[in-house]
Amino acid sequence: METEKKQIALSLIQPSGTITLGNYLGAIRNWVKMQDEFDCVFALADLHTITVRQEPPKMRKNILDAYASILACGIDVEKTLFFIQSHVPTHAELAWILNCYTQFGELSRMTQFKDKSVKHSDNINAGLFTYPSLMAADILLYQADYVPVGADQMQHLELTRDIANRFNGLYPNVFKVPKAYIPKTGARVMSLQDPSKKMSKSDENANGCVHLLDPPEVIMKKFKRAVTDSGSCVRYEEGKDGINNLIDIYGAVTGLSREQIERDFDGKGYGDFKTAVGEAVVEALRPIKAEYERLIADKAYLEGCYKKADEIALRISTRTLNKAKKKIGFI
């Protein structure tokens, strides 16, 4: 009996710093769950990273650390394609082609371009402006059916769909038009110091972001310093972003519902709850950190994993690139 072909799900993450708790709970943990349902294509988007200036030695370390960290979270290289973007030149080549089918006005409306232009006003480069075309190439090269996205990436996926439809309108049946995949469970983790903003590795306040490889004592200190409101009841309420964020994090790592958490901490204060959240996060990350330490000590194994994946990614993506080039008229 023939096995039904799985649909393709694709996602990339930038290795611009250490993987955060927000990356893990919001994306990577769902990647692990998706491996049984989809043919998954995952990658480290290091080409995207250089739109902001990087220190070369630090960047090399970040890429390897991110690769080992994501494997440690549960990505299985035997059933999932997990490669390094810059090792697969088809991404850059298709990105140039798609630049020529992407309108200036579309790129100028991208929210992240506006935000990063403000944050990096001394380096508003062309790559920062056109990186949505590279993102489109990342997705379309693998004929992805689904792309897991949060609210902050939905605009880029919509642009990718527009580019694919525009190209297919001129040259039929080149790209599959991908759909958004909204995971059944996925936490939106906010900064511990400014819970109105998403947790980010670029947070100016180091206490706002928990990193996957932070020592337990550092994690505990960050949660004990987490910003909350002037109340004391552990209750999920509108306008109480700080405690709401902690409840969501605790629920994500323990599997408990908001209602159960409120019952468990009825009569207890914020101090007790912050300690409990910190301890739960430490325990959730403990096996990941142990596996990371094992993997990062074996550089030859890591290199073997990504080189094998790079070769497969190049083979798959070359088929799509050649099809696009032929349709356009290249010899």
Choose the catalytic residue: 116, 222, 240, 274: 116
Cα 210 to Cα 21: distance, rounded to the nearest angstrom: 6
Distance CA 207, CA 227 (A): 10
CA angle in degrees (0–180, nearest 5) for 58-64-160 = 95
* CA nearest to 32, candidates 11, 54, 16, 49: 11
Please pick, among 198, 222, 240, 274, the residue that the annotation labels catalytic: 198
Residue 198 bears catalytic tag: yes
Point out the catalytic residue in the list 61, 176, 179, 201. Answer: 201
327 is catalytic: no
Burial of 144 (0-12, 13-18, 19+ CB in 10 A): buried
Q: 236-239: long-range contacts at Cβ-Cβ below 8 A with a sequence spacing of 24 or more?
A: 236/262
- For 14, list phi and psi in degrees, rounded to 5: -80, 135
Is 79 a catalytic site residue?
A: no
The residue among 106, 83, 94 whose CA lies nearest residue 175 is 94
What residues are labeled active site?
116, 198, 201
